[in-house]
A and B are shown apart, each in its own frame.
Chain A
Amino acid sequence: MTSHEHLVSALRQRLDSLRSRVEQLSFDKFGEAAQYCETLGKRIVHEAPPGNDRFTRDRWLNSTGDCLSSLRELSLGQTVELADADAPPVAEFLQSLTEASRDPEKRFQLLVKRYSWPPNVSLAQEAEICEHLLMRLMVHDRAVIERRSVGAVDADDLLLKLNLVAVHAQTTSDLRFLDALNYYYELLPADWVPPAPYGWLLVSYFGFYARALLLRTSTSHEFAHRDTFQHTSGSAANL
């Protein structure tokens, strides 16, 4: 086997494992979102997800709903009504996000407000924000969970960031984003049901993660490259 084949094989095994974990979930524990979670759960287990054309855009769009409803609809492959809009400034937003580093509720609201259409997170001008989200997940949140427990972080804030990173992982060839999803799959307790208003974000994260794994293992898939790196042909990462 080549290194590339090892990577594909590992991702396929992870997809099988993810499907088993989703199958074990008790959807009735997700309250009013039980129906949504069950529907998405069945899709993750039994169906191939749609292609990534819905995620790849070259301009800022706003949905008529909000970020959370868009995530639900996007995860189920449903149609979302979209309209062209001006991209909001990045620097001010990053500053607000940084200033709210000790206020997860405010951070959650900031992200919800900005990304009414979550795939906007993959636009080139959002690269710094993507990096910030990845850094928060892989440094701060990870450290808190590993030192204490998943109960020590704000579940909504954590899961929204994971969803946005998972949405970005659909279109980027940068493996760090997919690996953040891998890492959290290993880190979060298998039977964890977030005691949070938007606990269903756990299942939508699983949905986007499954889709990212499938896309990565599909040989016909082409990623929207906005990366600066060109991987060598012999690398495992050259998918």
Chain B
Amino acid sequence: MKKHIARWALKAGRLTSLRLLFSRRLVLLSRPLDHPASISKLAARSFDVGLHKTGNIYRQETIDCFRLGILNAHIGLLPKYRGRCVMEWSLLQGDPTGISVFFIDTGIDTGPRIVFSEEVDVSKRTSIADAKDYLFNLDAGFYRRAIDLLNSDSLTYRNNDGSGRRYYVMSKLFQAVTEECLRLSK
């Protein structure tokens, strides 16, 4: 049993989470994020910024619990690429891939304040799945840089002006073509 607990705790991030929990710096919510009990718990902590990690779509009440808002490290270049499978759509359409860190609103990647965007080359990745994992795993570094920018005096938000398109989950047919696009980009 102890062995199982130790193995569980050593998984990425969990040991840190336990430390935070014991030092009362981790807030556990037993209800959904938009439940009044959760809202009240979050609001009481007076957080400055939230960092998005899961697949939630947030209600305004939840976003309002954070003084500046909730940041999202979106794996597409805004404002052009909103929605799902944006890395794949970028590759298919011959556009650069990258990450945009922006403050979310209740829409799908429509929050107007982009903290920064940066192109990220995925051409050395072995597959679309690998390339996506690679981009998703860069989120911590991008969040840190976004927070540094928020702490600096030099930040000017770029406007997520709605000029792009909302993309959706991609068909298997186009996914296969996108794999070829990635292979050819090496």
Contacts and interface: CB of A to CB of B under 8 A. Distances in A.
A141 B94 CA distance: 29
Contact of A235 (B92, B165, B169): B92
A123 interface: no
Contacts of B173: 10-11, 14, 179, 182, 186
Nearest to B165: A176
Chain A interface SS verdict (over half): helix
A25 interface: no
B168 A236 contact: no
A139 B167 CA distance: 11
Contact of A2 (B93, B95, B168, B184): B184
Contact of A228 (B163, B166, B181): B163
Interface residues of B, number: 21
Contact of A138 (B80, B163, B169, B184): B169
Contacts of A111: none
Contacts of A139: 168
Nearest to B163: A228
Interface in A94-126: none
Interface string A122-143: 0000000001001100110010
B155 interface: no
Nearest to B178: A236
A3 B94 contact: yes
B37 interface: no
A142 B85 CA distance: 15
Contacts of A231: 93-94
Contacts of B95: 232, 235
Contact of B169 (A10, A142, A229, A232): A142
A235 B93 contact: yes
A180 interface: yes
Interface of B: 80, 92-95, 163, 165-174, 176-177, 180-181, 184
Interface of A: 1-3, 6-7, 10-11, 14, 131, 134-135, 138-139, 142, 174-176, 179-180, 182-183, 185-186, 228-229, 231-238
Which 6 pairs, one residue from A and one from B, show the smallest C-beta to C-beta distance?
A235-B94, A182-B171, A138-B168, A6-B180, A183-B171, A232-B94
